[in-house]
Amino acid sequence: MTDPNQSPGPTGVLVIDKAYGRTSTSVCTVVKARLRAGGAPKRVKVGHGGTLDPLASGILVILIGKATKLCDEVMAGEKAYLAEVDLGVTSPTDDLESEPVPTPGAQPVTREGIERACEKFIGRIDQRPPAHSAVKIGGKRAYHLARAGDKPEPEARPVDIHEIELRAFEWPRATLHIRSGKGVYIRSLARDLGEALGVGGMLAGLQRTKVGRFTIDESITLDALSDPLTQEHLTITPEVERLLKPRPE
């Protein structure tokens, strides 16, 4: 039986600027420990709205308490990224998790050529996830199959890319600003862009700058986050307020 005098525990949102090399799960672990140090119940719920790969930095929306019910809503929001693409190499994982392989005979392309190629990936497109990804093939994760020596080929699936802007270019590196819907693999975009240009294509760096209503400007690093954490440190968005409203009897 629930004790009516017991605090329901903290509820709200934290917008974390995740550092390169950290897993999304490890960020949740740190937040949970600091909440418990601030008096939160041992089983306080902590989750995140959309995983960010260890080799990426930027926004990770942390959901606490009743706000964890907003996970699907947060994940459905538009994402924005700054992606650095190396057009001179490829890699088995389509990023720096595996050793880059120089593309034989790859010739420098022009800025205009990149911009024309990017136009082909804007809108609703069919995108093939990376071989090293969490998608399932025959009930097994693709990355498990790849690490076991198989060559998984995940099926392409429809995704939405709203904008690709070339922010900077000096062969072989191109910096792209990307706005997209959920489920887009920026690694796959880097790979496919290179294939469209007839050169290499590997994601060399990634920062997520926007998730739904949340932007990088309002984020905080783990190092700057209060320890311990209490309710006063959490953001109460209109969506969270809706969850906290008493239900009519």
Q: Which residues contact 168 (CB under 8 A, 6 or more apart)?
A: 174, 175
78 touches 162 (CB < 8 A) = yes
Pick the closest to residue 202 from 192, 191, 213 (CA basis): 191
Answer yes or no: 17 catalytic.
no
Q: Which residues contact 16 (CB under 8 A, 6 or more apart)?
A: 27, 31, 59, 60, 61, 62, 219, 220, 221, 222, 225
- Which of 3, 17, 53, 126 does the annotation list as catalytic? 53
Q: How far apart are CA 94 and CA 85, in angstroms?
A: 10
Q: How far apart are CA 114 and CA 109, in angstroms?
A: 7
Q: Find tokens 């990634």 and name the residue.
A: 206
Q: Find tokens 């389509």 and name the residue.
A: 94
Pick the closest to residue 44 from 17, 25, 67, 73 (CA basis): 67
Give 170's strand partners.
173
Q: How far apart are CA 109 and CA 169, in angstroms?
A: 10
199 touches 48 (CB < 8 A) = no
Q: Which residues contact 148 (CB under 8 A, 6 or more apart)?
A: none
Which residues are known to be catalytic?
A: 53
